[in-house]
């Protein structure tokens, strides 16, 4: 006899909550790693309005907390961020690092 499996809406919300929590922890881990390495994060999680004010692209990873703007701009910091597995772009006055 085959047993039928069904998922409740509460279980779906639980999975969504766990996924969001994992995403947040992932972003926070990089944030604290960057700070621990002596860099300053000047922009991390942005609202759509703030992102627009700053001239950010509509699909910016800042909108979901997976991009960081960092100072000071040095080759050492660039190398540290790349070693951590981030895509790094030197934007002149800051380094933009994001999940690859």
Could you tell me if residue 75 is inside a domain? yes
Could you tell me if residue 2 is inside a domain? no
List pLDDT tens digits, range 65-75. 999 999 999 99
Could you tell me if residue 69 is inside a domain? yes
How far apart, in Å, are the Cα atoms of 65 and each of 8, 9, 62? 29, 27, 5
Distance CA 71, CA 16 (A): 34
CB–CB of 95/69 below 8 Å?
A: yes
Q: What is the tally of structural domains in the chain?
A: 1
Distance CA 40, CA 8 (A): 44
Could you tell me if residue 49 is inside a domain? yes
List pLDDT tens digits, range 11-44. 889 998 898 888 889 889 999 999 999 999 999 9
Q: CB neighbours of 95 closer than 8 A, spacing ≥ 6?
A: 69, 70, 71, 73, 77, 78, 81, 88, 89
Q: What is the CATH number of the domain that holds 29?
A: 3.30.1380.10
pTM of the entire structure? 0.80
Question: What domain range is 81 assigned to?
Answer: 9-99
């Amino acid at each position: 006899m085959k047993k039928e499996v069904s998922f409740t809406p509460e279980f779906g919300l639980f999975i969504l909550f766990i996924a969001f929590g994992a995403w947040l922890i992932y972003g926070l881990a990089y944030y604290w790693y960057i700070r621990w390495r002596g860099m300053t994060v000047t922009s991390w999680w942005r609202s759509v309005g703030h992102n627009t004010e700053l001239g950010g692209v509509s699909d910016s990873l800042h909108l979901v907390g997976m991009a960081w703007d960092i100072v000071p701009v040095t080759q050492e910091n660039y190398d540290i961020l790349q070693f951590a597995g981030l895509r790094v772009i030197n934007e002149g006055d800051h380094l933009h690092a994001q999940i690859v």
